[in-house]
Chain A
């Protein structure tokens, strides 16, 4: 078929769901009007480890409106069948109310169901739980590491021994919580053996299979609905215990149950980016070429599941390094399980590597960009696979020019603006491009409109909009004639909405299904004696504005509407199943270069970001207006990780001391200056059929080290710990 003109893809369109979001009409999980719904509130363990000795529910049950209190003493045994292929972590998933064990502070130990939210909240405060408490281990430094995951190439010891310059650096990163603005919530309703949940999730089919296995009901009898996700950043990638609690409470009371986690419960119930201690021994020659790197990585996980992420990857492939050795050890602690958070692994690994590169540049007196250029690999150093596209050097060039990098003074603490010390820093970012099997179905209606359905999600990047753009061009329809639907398990199955793979995966399936529909319509037309297109080769027909016509001859053609109506076809239908093609081995990643200028109060240690600019090599940009927002949002997330975000645990009892938005600081408007994002024009069709390399993750990678490097340039102080606080700088 003829390639379709691209009118919507690449155009700076506003969000198709914008009106719903600015009027308050967009419905998030807890906002569905379900008849007869009652309210559930979870009671959390107030010890960090131990056993429950008793649950006194008398006062709670005596409270007006309270219907039921469910806990391990009266809960039914739940099947909890294995759920292979889910995002459940290796280990044994937390089973709600199945025994008296407390594995971490904040673990759900009971749930109160009541006719009103007020009664449920008050009732939860009246449940008295007795404990036999043990001292928990929650400090990364005190835990016993498990067996490491290892990687090795070259002779690291010889490389370090013979290096002209050696650095031995230990970096620490605090635990971060996603803190999406919408807290996780579930409404659950049973109709006989059929379960419907309105649940905040990044993976509608994942919640469906988890509930199916926990309650041992067929997947088809579980329906998951979630058209809008109020942010997640990874916290919705697996089905958490509270969703099971809601479904259990609904089954036990025979009523629909709404359960909304409190902000505090989000710190114990929906995962986090784990704390890390990362030791890097780095050796280089006098010209700045890396010769060896030894990485010792320790990260927290829970006592019952092992969480790992791609933290080793940047150290293997970002720079040419003949000798690399890595040991990645997870440390089981008495905490709830971590989960992937924006830029998982890469954000952490690149913070260390990009900080160390800055330290090496300073040590050698080489410009940080020049140092990176000297270590730019020609192919992926981890496995010698050719890069599909890697335009990192171009990111440096464009970024340096647009940012004014030449105004940076190499010698630290040499620029002042009144009380403020001024510094500039930069860092590279990388995130591997992931693509997964995905399905869509579509119908083209006789009125010239189209509906595309897929079980994917839109947690904010703009799936509704960008998929509509892909579909509109493939069908030759106006954007307003296309209705892209998502967030329902009755739609075709999709991979998790995360890992920057939604556009690559669902986008490819959307392109395929719409190409099929267009082909059906074209074949119908060229085979129809009454069509002006009769007898034309299908390859010579394109569709624009809902009208099929001969390529290069717009006057010869007709509309979808006319074609379908004349042929008595109410609609054309198609389904697509996209699987990533297995071509030649390629190293496929999105890249970035982040530049920033900070001001540090010389007396108070306060750090303010003054400006930031990032350049991305992310392949084809489907929706530039939304891509710009995503990049800027990633920078803001990175500012948080660099300067503010820090989950503080009281190691005496495992309590999180700052489990709230007043104490766990995230960037507010006054923390954020004007930010600028530049996407290099281009595409990567080795990555996927629509040429994208993913955006959502790479935009946070590299931000924290750029800030840390700028703080060093401003002050001469190297803080090897995130967040960089005023206390550390004093």
Chain B
């Protein structure tokens, strides 16, 4: 990945922590990891003494930005390397590994999350106000003010979302790796109203690949859940 912004567009790295209402160990790691390059370069932590002759001694921090977004109802502010995708922010920084990396190229849908529909440039904003987004193709820094829902945010405490339950009932998965993306995409598909027939569901769920081949049952699960609405 080598996305670089012109110097003038880069806000200075603040190194500031985040202002989540309930800081957790995860959010602390996110911050310290995000500025890790700068910290190591300064030799403050991370074992400057471990640096061998072959190790890097670069002095400059990578361009980074501060971004505030809401993930599954929790507001998070984080300083993040500008090259970081939303998917990597979720997985590597927030510890939300439910969203999966299958291709990192927007071709498989395993990383699907819902982003509020106001920012139309990030996806197709459907009538319901939800947008299914490939988080691997979305830079984290573009999400200022956004509300993101991942697979971890669908259940209500111990009570599964109806589509999560339908996936279990219909056995709509095997290895389970595409499943979070399928379910999040299915929630979007239902919200969008693209569930009029099995054919329509197949078309609108075709951005999510399932290599175990559970499509027949994924369609049934989406249909079962849409029928309840």
Contacts and interface: CB of A to CB of B under 8 A. Distances in A.
Given A116-B37, A260-B101, A22 B209 contact: no
Interface stretch (A279-287, A331-339, A458-466): A458-466
Given A65-B36, A668-B209, A672-B216, A18 B58 contact: no
Interface in A110-150: 114-119, 121-122, 125
Nearest to B29: A33
Interface string A62-76: 111111110000100
B15 interface: no
Interface in B26-64: 33-34, 36-38, 40-41, 46-47, 50-52, 54-62
A122 B2 contact: yes
Contacts of B69: none
A128 B55 CA distance: 17
B58 A66 contact: yes
Interface string A617-657: 00000000110111011111100000000000000000000
A666 B211 contact: yes
B110 interface: yes
Nearest to A61: B56
B148 interface: no
A19 B213 contact: no
A633 B209 contact: no
B36 A635 contact: no
A629 B174 contact: yes
B190 interface: no
Contacts of A26: 176
With a 10 A CB-CB cut-off, give which of B96, B198, B210 has the most chain A CB atoms: B210
B60 A31 contact: no
Nearest to B38: A64
Contact of A118 (B54, B62, B101, B201): B62
Interface stretch (B114-122, B125-133, B150-158): B150-158
Contact of B98 (A23, A263, A461, A674): A23
B110 A181 contact: yes
A344 B106 CA distance: 30
Given A118-B83, A229-B175, A668-B206, A183 B101 contact: yes
A116 B56 CA distance: 13
Contacts of A69: 54
A182 B212 contact: no
Contacts of B178: 181
Given A61-B56, A666-B209, A231 B175 contact: yes
A230 interface: yes
Interface in A661-695: 661-662, 666-670, 672, 674-675
B1 interface: yes
A632 B216 contact: yes
B168 A180 contact: no
With a 10 A CB-CB cut-off, give which of B104, B110, B164, B177 has the most chain A CB atoms: B177
Contacts of A125: 1-2
A263 B107 CA distance: 11
Given A115-B40, A661-B102, A668-B209, A180 B60 contact: no
Interface residues on B, range: 35 or more
A669 B88 CA distance: 26
B147 interface: no
Nearest to B4: A122
Nearest to A35: B29
Contacts of A21: 173, 176, 179
A119 B82 CA distance: 11
Interface in A4-37: 14-15, 17-28, 30-31, 33
B92 interface: yes
Given A230-B100, A263-B102, A633-B213, A63 B56 contact: yes
Main secondary structure of the interface of B (DSSP, over half): loop
Interface string B84-110: 100010011001111111111111101
A181 B209 contact: yes
A25 B59 CA distance: 38
B99 A14 contact: no
Contacts of A116: 33-34, 36-37, 62, 81, 92
A25 B95 CA distance: 11
Given A31-B91, A117-B88, A119-B62, A64 B99 contact: no
Contact of A670 (B83, B92, B177, B202): B202
A632 B178 CA distance: 17
A65 B177 CA distance: 30
A662 B88 contact: no
Contact of B175 (A24, A31, A182): A182
Contact of A181 (B99, B210, B219): B210
A250 to B, nearest CB: 13
With a 10 A CB-CB cut-off, give which of B59, B61, B98, B155 has the most chain A CB atoms: B98
Contacts of B207: 668
B180 interface: yes
Contacts of B208: 668-669
A15 B55 CA distance: 47
B98 A25 contact: yes
Nearest to A623: B171
A15 to B, nearest CB: 7
Contacts of B46: 115
A118 B104 CA distance: 13
A183 to B, nearest CB: 7
Contacts of B103: 263, 660-662
A22 B40 contact: no
B213 A667 contact: yes
A233 interface: yes
A183 B41 CA distance: 31
A254 interface: yes
B55 A61 contact: yes
A700 B94 CA distance: 39
A24 B36 contact: no
Contact of B150 (A24, A183, A629, A630): A24
Given A64-B38, A660-B103, A674-B216, A121 B1 contact: yes
A672 B213 CA distance: 9
A608 to B, nearest CB: 12
Nearest to B222: A669
B146 interface: no
Nearest to B91: A31
Given A23-B155, A118-B81, A228 B102 contact: no
Given A61-B58, A62-B58, A669-B206, A22 B102 contact: no
Given A21-B173, A263-B103, A118 B214 contact: no
Contacts of B152: 23-25
Interface string A95-120: 00000000000000000001111110
B211 A669 contact: no
A30 B88 CA distance: 12
B213 A635 contact: yes
A182 B41 CA distance: 33
A669 B150 contact: no
B160 A670 contact: no
A22 B62 contact: no
24 contacts: A14-B169, A24-B99, A27-B97, A30-B97, A63-B56, A64-B61, A65-B56, A65-B62, A114-B37, A116-B36, A117-B88, A122-B1, A181-B175, A229-B175, A260-B101, A263-B104, A460-B212, A626-B171, A632-B217, A634-B213, A660-B103, A661-B102, A661-B103, A672-B202
Q: Which 3 A-B residue pairings sit nearest by Cβ, starting from the closest?
A: A24-B98, A636-B213, A230-B177
Given A115-B33, A662-B107, 20 more contacts: A22-B164, A22-B165, A22-B180, A23-B98, A23-B160, A24-B96, A64-B37, A64-B60, A115-B37, A122-B62, A182-B175, A183-B101, A228-B175, A230-B177, A233-B211, A262-B104, A460-B174, A660-B107, A669-B205, A669-B210
